[in-house]
Amino acid sequence: MEIKSAEFIISNTRIDKCPKNNLPEYAFIGRSNVGKSSLINMLTNRPKLAMTSATPGKTLLINHFLINKEWYLVDLPGYGYAKRGKKQQEKIQQIIEQYILQREQLTNLFLLIDCRLEPQRIDLEFIEWLGENGVPFAIIFTKADKLSNKKVLENVNSYLEHLKEQWEELPPHFITSSEKKIGRAEVLNYIESINRQL
Ligand code: GTP
Ligand code: MG
């Protein structure tokens, strides 16, 4: 799919302030610093569209980016940043949960996992919560440039094996690097294939 236009539309903390039209939305979630905002920039080929930072906790709001005037990419705050105060942590959690559970336009959620790490309890619990709530999602393994191809595949396979212990059917998954632009066509084609079915 060709990205002809990508525009920042609005940031906010409440879904009743999100865009009112009924265009499909693809949102990105995962731990702080996993690479959500960077991935949006890589997919759209616009390095400064979403704000990124080496320090976790950069994205604090729900951010809507209109793509090709037809659908949205949505950048969400990350979860699990321990240095946030408890109050802020709870507020972020509430923003994320409200968006995921109540936003009817949410068509598919991408859950981002750092391909370098062993399965983390916080992500596994999050996946379980998605399952309990019937949220359609796919997994994106990020930062593939940080390991050899062989090691990436080993880690991804072992992650999927771990999920198989709980799940009969695995969600679709993608391997990406925003740094090296790996996985761009695969993720965009996936979005396009869903858009076509709508
Ligand atoms: P929060 O907004 O804090 O939740 O973080 P985020 O998930 O949006 O992460 P962000 O995109 O801001 O990236 C965090 C850090 O990881 C930045 O320093 C990025 O440059 C780096 N990063 C993101 N993706 C990649 C990647 O594919 N490869 C490498 N090497 N670094 C990456
Ligand atoms: Mg971010």
Instruction: Check residue 115 and give its pLDDT.
Output: 98
Q: Which residues surround ligand 2, an ion (CB under 5 A)?
A: 36-37, 58-59
Question: In the chain, what are the domains?
Answer: 6-197 (3.40.50.300)
Question: What b/e readout covers 71-87, taking b as 16+ CB neighbours within 10 angstroms?
Answer: bbbbbbbbbbbeebeee
| pLDDT at 197 > cutoff 90 | yes
Where do we find the tokens 């979860």? 79
Cα–ligand 2 centroid distance for 5 (angstroms): 21
**3-class DSSP state for residue 14?**
coil
| pLDDT at 150 > cutoff 80 | yes
Which ligand neighbours the alpha carbon of 43 most closely?
Answer: 1
- CB of 116 within 6 A of ligand 1: the answer is no
Where do we find the tokens 């802020």? 88
- CB of 34 within 6 A of ligand 1: the answer is yes
Instruction: Check residue 170 and give its pLDDT.
Output: 96
Mean pLDDT of 118-143: 97
What stretch of H or E contains 139?
A: strand 137-142
| pLDDT at 144 > cutoff 90 | yes
Instruction: Check residue 84 and give its pLDDT.
Output: 81
Give the model confidence (pLDDT) of 44-86 as tens digits. Answer: 999 999 999 998 888 889 999 999 999 999 999 999 887 888 8
Instruction: Check residue 129 and give its pLDDT.
Output: 96
Give the ligand 1 atom nearest the CA of 176: 27
Average of per-residue pLDDT values in the chain: 95
Least confident of 57-66, 154-163, 187-196: 57-66
Instruction: Check residue 165 and give its pLDDT.
Output: 92
